Amino acid sequence: MAKHFLRLIFFISASLLLAQEVSQERLVRFALWAQQDAYPGYFDGDATDEEQAKNKSDADDSINSVPIRKIKELAPYIVQGMVYGWKFDYTPSDKARKVPEFFDVTEVTPMPSQDLARISFAKPWYQEEKLWAWVEYARTPEQIYIFKSWHAILYPRIKGVGYARLSEGFDGIRKACEEALKNAVREYERTRIKTKPKQIEGTALIIKPPQIGIDAGRYKVTLDFFMQSDRIIEYKTF
């Protein structure tokens, strides 16, 4: 009886996990939040005169105008990473060779304006002085094929966490996303490559809704990826 109960629990847990995975196949869906009060640097500090004017104009219209605009600015970046993925170019730091660390992220395939226009924001709610909304994007048949292709091949699954200063506003979340990818790539390649490589190039697809929060006064972003290593260049001599 106990064994049957444990098998049932395992089956239910596995089914729920599978349902979460499959749910992203046709509809990209994840939650984004923005604080309702003024963001650090939006009205002064790092913001340009033009940005300050725009933010103040938004703030005069509605208490939610700035959060809504920032959510809409960030959403396409993450949708891009879940639909087509990001390409990365990583040069690990090497003190002995005096090589600084370099990491660059670019879009695999820029999404056309008509696709970006189909990103929707549903069921907003308020929680702990934050405005939340579901970001939704229905994949095209071609994009569903891309999604299935990534899942059909046994690409390694990697996971990383990135941080950024709150004072950087929503640009900080983008930086934290890039750092999450860099850390995921670095930790995975460390298990495979004994000698530190000169350069790693590859492609990564976000496979789960991002987890975005605040930890110790910083943005914290956790991302899960499928990763394809396109090219690894090793040092020929020291």
Rounded Cα–Cα distance for residues 130 and 63 (Å): 11
pLDDT-based confidence at residue 62 (cuts at 50, 70, 90): low
Burial of 80 (0-12, 13-18, 19+ CB in 10 A): buried
Rounded Cα–Cα distance for residues 99 and 235 (Å): 12
The token duo for 116 is: 């970006």
pLDDT in tens, 145-203: 999 999 999 999 999 999 999 888 878 999 999 999 999 999 999 888 888 889 999 99
Indicate the pTM of the whole model. 0.79
Q: DSSP character for 138?
A: E
pLDDT in tens, 67-120: 888 889 999 999 999 999 999 999 999 898 899 999 999 999 999 999 999 999
Cα 176 → chain centroid: 8
- For residues 185-208, one letter each, b for 16 or more C-beta atoms within 10 angstroms of the residue's C-beta and e for the rest, the string is bbebbeeeeeeebeebbbbbbbbb
